[in-house]
Amino acid sequence: MPVPRRTRLVALAPVVAALIALGCVSAPGGEAGSGGEQRPAPTATRTTAAGEDLEGTDTPQEFMEDVGDAERVAEAYWKAQFKKSGLEFQPISRLIAYEQEGEVDCGGQGLGLNNAAYCSAGDFIAYDVNWAFAAFRQIGDAFIFYLLGHEYAHAIQLRLRIQKEFTIEQELQADCMAGAYIGDTERQGSLKLDDGDLEELAAGLEAVGDEPGQPWFAEGAHGSAKQRTRAFDNGYQRSLEPCGVS
């Protein structure tokens, strides 16, 4: 497999915490998921990001290339993991970019803006392309790999019939699995992280943490920034073992 090009160094723009609202439609039990958590709309937009000195490297084309790379890398990673366990692997059915609220239907429910989700009803990952592009420009390309890795992990949970009691457990496991996919792929040499990518990932995780005070058992709780960072880092450093997948 060609080594995805990872040569850009994207300056870390100050992260506006409210910019990112990573939510998931994850209903690994097989039923259609409901929308991810509700968060305020982003306070920063592409216009803001565009005003920063990005040396013209963060184009929509590069964004789409990274999204494609991230999906391919995740698919290859899980295919290999399944093979190791003697399991048949089925990739997700589709990766869908959307721009309008409700444009993409997941089990009878329209997906909202400022979000990315795995929809178990259609076995697809969908993301608000304007939101993801803004995050790509503000946080960096590594965030896209994390985002796809996290949502792909929900598809894997469904395939492995992993259904945790609480949403937060399901979410933190997906963060750990995303860390394992990035860390392992890097260790295998098929993904190269640049200087700064880890800082981007840290900033991304910081930004997607729940607001302080979010009850851990709440519907849609994903974990605090600290919990999410720890979960991701466990997988990143130590592969799938700490994720409790196998």
Q: Which residues form the interface with Zn ion (CB under 5 A)?
A: 24, 171, 174
- Nearest to Zn ion of 65, 206 (CB atom): 206
Query: Crossing angle of helices 129-138/60-84, nearest 10°?
Result: 100
Min CB(118)–Zn ion separation in Å: 7
- When the beta carbons of 45 and 109 are compared against Zn ion, the nearer one is 109
Nearer to Zn ion, 10 or 126 (CB): 126
Which lies closer to Zn ion via its Cβ, residue 4 or residue 28? 28
- Closest contact distance (angstroms) between CB of 204 and Zn ion is 13
CA nearest 146: which of 66, 225, 59, 239?
66
Give the residue nearest to Zn ion (CB): 24
For the chain, the 3-state helix, strand and coil shares in percent, each to the nearest 5, are: 45, 5, 45
Find the shortest distance in angstroms from Cβ 244 to Zn ion.
16
DSSP assignment string, 100-151: STTSSEETTEEPPSS-EEEETTTTEEEEEHHHHHHHHHHT-HHHHHHHHHHH
Question: In the numeric block, which tokens belong to residue 77?
Answer: 């990673």
Cβ proximity to Zn ion, 4 vs 114, nearer residue: 114
List, in sequence order, every residue forming a beta bridge with 194; answer none if it has no partner: none
Q: Coil, helix or strand for 96?
A: strand
User: DSSP 3-state assignment of 98?
Assistant: strand
- From the CB of 23, what's the least distance to Zn ion, in Å? 7
CB 26, min distance to Zn ion, A: 5
